[in-house]
């Protein structure tokens, strides 16, 4: 699948709904697709955005663009697991952004979360390795 692009009218609709950034991630972003691969889309929004409206409109919009039966996973990144955020930091492809700051700001917050948890991750890793005979 080629990357998903939006018309100016569609971009205006996305912005009016409170979407600040759409990010393609997963196998599609890494170009490791196979038959049955889904599409993973991460969303960054304004705090007051209506998530139900965003989800419904975006699902319909993406479905219309790809024109084939495929699973579409839509994830609101503010509440995504840290492992997913880490994957998006590495492989995420920005599809839409209202300004040049939404994705960099997300990256900064996610990297701070990862750095905060690094000592705990290291402790768990050491304890697991200590149990191996």
Structural domain includes residue 2: no
Structural domain includes residue 107: yes
Quick one: pLDDT at residue 75? 94
Q: What is this structure's pTM?
A: 0.79
Give the pLDDT means over successive 10-residue stretches in the chain (133 positions): 82 94 88 80 92 93 84 91 91 92 91 80 80 84
Quick one: pLDDT at residue 55? 94
Quick one: pLDDT at residue 2? 58
Structural domain includes residue 79: yes
Angle between helices 51-66 and 8-16 (to 10 degrees): 160
Among residues 1, 15, 13, the alpha carbon closest in space to that of 97 is found at 15
CATH number, domain with residue 21 = 3.30.460.10
Run of H or E including 43: strand 39-45
For 62, the domain range is: 8-130
- Tally of domains within the chain: 1
Structural domain includes residue 3: no
């Amino acid at each position: 699948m080629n990357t998903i692009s939006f018309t100016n009218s569609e971009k205006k609709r996305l912005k009016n709904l409170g979407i600040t950034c759409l990010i393609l991630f997963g196998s599609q972003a890494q170009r490791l697709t196979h038959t049955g691969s889904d599409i993973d889309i991460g969303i960054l929004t304004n705090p007051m955005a209506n998530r139900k409206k965003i989800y419904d409109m975006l699902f319909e919009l993406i479905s219309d663009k790809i024109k084939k039966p495929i699973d579409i996973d839509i994830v609101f990144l503010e509440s995504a697991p840290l492992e997913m955020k880490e994957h998006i930091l590495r492989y995420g492809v920005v599809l839409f952004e209202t300004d040049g700051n939404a994705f960099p700001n997300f990256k900064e917050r996610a990297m701070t979360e990862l750095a905060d948890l690094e000592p705990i991750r290291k402790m768990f890793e050491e304890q697991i390795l200590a149990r191996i005979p």
